[in-house]
A and B are shown apart, each in its own frame.
Chain A
Amino acid sequence: MIDRDPMSQPPLDHGAVDELAAALSLGALDADEARALIAHLSTCPLPHAELRELLGANSALAASVEGIAPSPGLRDRLMATVAATAQEAPRVTGVPTREAPPAPSAPSSSFAEPWWKSLLDPRSAGFARGLAAVAVAGVIVLGAVTISLRSSLDARQSALDRVASALAGGGPAFAVTAQTAGAGSGYVIDHAGQPLLVAAVPPAPAGRLYEMWLLDAQGQPVSAGTFTITSGQIAVVRLDVGLTGYTTFAITVEERRVDAPTTKPIIAGAIGALGRRAARARPRASAMPIPLNTTAIPTPNASARSSPYAAWPPATAASSRTSAEVDGTRPPAIPRLMTPAIAGPRSAAGGCAWECGCGCGCRCGWSCSPAAADAVRQRRRQPRSSHAPMVSTIAPETVPRTG
């Protein structure tokens, strides 16, 4: 397992791991310490029996609390939220996904294998560590790196999953899938805060290259770099642009690097939560959302709605939809920022605790749909997930400039 920021955590020795076992079990480690501990376990040859015995003790604490029947309306409220909430696509973590999922009725497995071994594919532990070294050494950020592989489809998929798992280190990722037959697939992962494409794709036609694109909610594309690849390789390519503020990733085949795609995408994926996650990590200058009215891409008509990519791809453009969007139609662009329903509280980090961008001054780059604003009014107090960031419905030319 690779840590996002290996430099910040001193390695733990075996004794320290055992001493912190109870704290890990109770959720009483800060995230960095917990990750360091898990990193130790993912490579440690010792069984750490005491730690294994204490993990799970949190369930005893939870069970010592008396249950309380919730208000009658809570279930309906939950089901209404769920009806308007998309599920995350499976991500790249733990055991590669090539294996069939376990049968639902399978009994819990015994401890034939330490649980943390599943954090990495045992077959690839050395491989993963090798990759970690490469990544830490900064080789990957120089550009496209390719890794030679056997060319069988299974081997390629397996290697793809291993590489993505190792580089993502359990961190966020989303899948990118073929839009045309045989185009291949892969993942965009968050590697130490940098987006990386990890993909098994066939070589581009002679004389052509692949160009990566990020599209905002209006379908405006921004180039995220180009790469080429030869047969039987997996591409590991750093994106030039952060994901914040974008909703869709796509790859097209181009003759050279261009400012706007000239062909239909061969591969695409919905950025969804990853783009929102980045928005939540502010304030960090480099994580500021790209303004919606980016003008790098000249289009025949200034209106975003007329962009050839405005309605594309309908199935992946928004993984988190407003209730107005679940019926499959985009709501019309709202010609102004919504009036804030309630002034948003500030989070400890200084950003908007609601992360709603409803005009409450948080400048987080998101904007509310009428449905979201209604939800705020109904719930009155409450930060967070019932009021998740929404895909912007603001037409780019109407967004007031901030700062």
Chain B
Amino acid sequence: MEDTGRSHEADAALAVRIRSGDREALGELYDRYAAVALGVALRVVRDRDAAEDVVHDAFVAVWQKISRFDPQQGQLRSWLLTIVRNRAIDRVRGARAAEDIDALDELGTLRSSSNPTWEAAVANLSLATLRVALGSLPGEQREAVELAYFGGHTYREVAVLTGVPPGTAAGRLRLALAKLRQLLIGTDAGPAGSPPSAEPSAGGGPV
């Protein structure tokens, strides 16, 4: 696993270079994150060619909109992946495209500008650990999270799809994320940037 602090530092430096119009820096960002971006895109659109188009468009958007990104406020990786997800959802679900994609990116900036604790934890955990944690969620919570994040549905749509009131759907998302936080970060999360001391006690559950 890559050292978190160094990774953030390198990303912040890349962001500054991209902002200054350095195309090679965007290429380096691509080399770093194209694979994970394609993974996320493919998970949403489920078509290889379409997913590559999404990745292409997302990196172009990063290039165009880098002036909106504040390295002190968020992680470049998070921001990129939010843009990837927005475009992937836009691709498969025209309906939500009625919302301006720029507005969605803007909100994504805010979402990824939140809490470095998650980033720090995620960067230090293995894929398997993350999957075990997700798998350990109760089925209805995992379903809600998947529909919301990978399906691109709002919690109100999740409610309709799963046949529960909107408040219940929102509550499932809340419980799911709280549980993930407990598993991945622990309740006594340290200050920003300090890596978690131990692997979570990933208790059972199917993967």
Binding site for B on A (CB under 8 A): 19-31, 33-35, 38, 50, 52-71, 74-75, 77-79, 81-83, 85-91, 93-95, 101-102, 104-111, 115-116, 118-119, 170, 172, 273, 277, 280-281, 347-349, 353, 379, 381-386
Q: Indicate if B107 sits at the interface (CB-CB under 8 A).
A: yes
Roughly how many angstroms separate A172 CA and B39 CA in the complex, as a whole number?
Answer: 31
B162 to chain A, nearest CB (A): 13
Within 8 A of A (CB), among B187-207: 189, 191-193
Can you name the residue of chain B whose Cβ is closest to the Cβ of A74? B52
B24 to chain A, nearest CB (A): 9
* A-B contacts besides A63-B123, A64-B130, A88-B68, 18 pairs, CB < 8 Å: A19-B174, A26-B148, A27-B111, A30-B154, A31-B100, A53-B189, A55-B115, A65-B43, A68-B38, A70-B34, A105-B12, A107-B5, A107-B193, A172-B102, A273-B102, A277-B100, A277-B102, A386-B57
Binding site for A on B (CB under 8 A): 5, 8-9, 12-13, 15-16, 19, 21, 23, 26-27, 30-31, 34-36, 38-40, 42-43, 49-50, 52-53, 55-57, 59-61, 63-68, 70-73, 75, 77-78, 81-82, 85-87, 90-91, 94-95, 97-104, 106-108, 110-119, 121-123, 125, 127, 130-131, 133-134, 145, 148-150, 152-156, 158, 167, 170-171, 173-174, 176-178, 180-181, 184, 189, 191-193
Can you name the residue of chain A whose Cβ is closest to the Cβ of B39? A65
Roughly how many angstroms separate A88 CA and B62 CA in the complex, as a whole number?
Answer: 10
Residue pair B13, A105 in contact (C-beta under 8 Å): yes
Using Cβ atoms and an 8 Å threshold, which residues of chain A touch B155?
20, 23, 28-29
Partner of B67 from A19, A38, A70, A89 at Cβ < 8 Å: A89
Residue pair A281, B108 in contact (C-beta under 8 Å): no
Partner of B40 from A29, A62, A78, A101 at Cβ < 8 Å: A62
Residue pair B174, A87 in contact (C-beta under 8 Å): no
Roughly how many angstroms separate A153 CA and B15 CA in the complex, as a whole number?
Answer: 30
Residue pair B103, A19 in contact (C-beta under 8 Å): no
Residue pair B112, A106 in contact (C-beta under 8 Å): no
Can you name the residue of chain A whose Cβ is closest to the Cβ of B120? A108
Partner of B60 from A61, A81, A105, A107 at Cβ < 8 Å: A81
Residue pair A60, B118 in contact (C-beta under 8 Å): yes
Partner of A53 from B63, B122, B181 at Cβ < 8 Å: B181
